[in-house]
Amino acid sequence: MKHVLFVVLPERGHVHPFLGAAEALRDRGARVSFYAPRDVRSIVAPLGFLDVHCPEGAGSPIAAHRGEAFAALLADRDRLRAWIRAMLVDAVEPSIAPLRAHLVRERPDVVVIDPMAYFAAIAAHEEGLPWLGLSTSLNPCIRDDVESELKATLRSLDEARRALFVAHGIAEPRFRVSDVLSPRGTFVLSTKALLGEALPDDGVPVHLVGAALPGGPAASRSRPSAERPLVYASFGSQAYHQPVQHRVVLEAAREVDARFVIAMGDLAASPLARSAPSNVEVVDFAPQLSLLAEARVAITHGGANSLHEGLAHGVPLLVSPICDDQHHDAALVAAAGAGRVVDLAHASPAHVASCLRSLLDEGSPERQVARSIARSYAGAGGAARIADVVLGVA
């Protein structure tokens, strides 16, 4: 029995992309275990993954990394830059030794890491274990000529992050945005149908595998519904505290003949939520995959996991990026024609309603493109292809 260790970062948006691959490997008889700097059992245990580890004394994921406190951090350019440095540079050295000790005890056959978990690449290298990346973003496919605040921040960190790897015997680390690329390959949960043909070439393999959702392929989009069409809105599992954007969506919903499910996190108990019109159901958190299986349109912040899941279901997107790589993702959606980009912090409800009505149209060009991307995702191999490559390396 081969042992595959997944090393993840302790937030849902960084864990969920691994779950489909973990299921595929488990179905093939592999032992699958998880390691994170903090305890992620509550995220992976519902799918039956109980072999979960973290450093001794590590608690649950940090509450300040989501909700109102996190939204305030994202809105402050200097604080956001400092947080990115803390995550990608300052936290690396203290995290290497605990993982190395775990690798010594467990000796997995292969390690699959979140490419933003630099400590995992270093620890696996120092223990002589093969490692691959499974990107929780589209970073490995972002071209050099794309400019953004995130890329400017990372340029300022280049010397420090390269020095970390060199100090541990990795002479030429290859980065793409915030991801470190494995010389054995990095998986990206997308295809050229979204990304385009002009992809960067770093001289290391990047595997475009399409949809790798837990529970198997995305549900069929062909079944009819007797109800009004569904619009699903969520700003992710971390950046969801966005009262201005939510207010605009609620006001736009009054003008759209559709039913809405809006995941608002801690704002679900606020007066803003109680002002929702009768065609809107406000929840704190939602079963996103189930809702996307029947949604006609999804409103999103442009997080890579939301893009992956929405487009896997052929759902056209209304994207309002908040920070970091979400701006890259929004630009890709717009360029592919799979949705529209609207700044909900400044757009009028009337404009948002107009965009939603267009996207809800069964014959909209964005819907046709989203369905084409979904077909390409279904044909790219997904979790099964990831399992093939991982077991081949193991």
pLDDT of residue 35: 98
φ and ψ of 155, to 5 deg: -60, -35
Nearest to 16 by CA among 323, 312, 317, 335: 312
**Does the pLDDT at position 281 exceed 80?**
yes
**Does the pLDDT at position 219 exceed 50?**
no
**Does the pLDDT at position 71 exceed 60?**
yes
pLDDT in tens, 171-190: 999 999 999 999 999 999 99
Return mean pLDDT, the chain: 94
Rounded-to-integer distance, Cα 30 and Cα 33, Å = 10
18-22, 90-94, 220-224: least confidently modelled range: 220-224
14-28, 72-86, 108-122: least confidently modelled range: 72-86
Task: Report, at the CATH architecture level, how domain 230-377 is classified.
Answer: 3-Layer(aba) Sandwich (3.40)
**Does the pLDDT at position 221 exceed 60?**
no
What's the CA angle centered on 7, arms 111 and 135, to 5 degrees?
A: 90
**Does the pLDDT at position 126 exceed 60?**
yes
Rounded-to-integer distance, Cα 264 and Cα 285, Å = 7
Q: Which amino acid is at 39?
A: D
**Does the pLDDT at position 131 exceed 70?**
yes
| 201 vs 178, residue with greater confidence | 178
- Range list for CATH 3.40.50.2000 in the chain: 3-215+380-393, 230-377
Q: Could you tell me the sign of the dihedral formed by the alpha carbons of 311, 313, 316, 317, in that order?
A: negative
Question: Under CATH, what is the fold of the domain 3-215+380-393?
Answer: Rossmann fold (3.40.50)
Local confidence band at 222 (pLDDT 50, 70, 90 cut-offs): very low
Helix (H) or strand (E) holding 126: helix 118-126
Rounded-to-integer distance, Cα 327 and Cα 109, Å = 37
Local confidence band at 65 (pLDDT 50, 70, 90 cut-offs): confident
Average pLDDT over residues 180-209: 94
pLDDT of residue 327: 94
Average pLDDT over residues 370-387: 97
Task: Identify the bridge partners of residue 155 per DSSP, sorted by sequence position.
Answer: none
Percent of the chain with pLDDT over 90: 86
Q: Which amino acid is at 1?
A: M
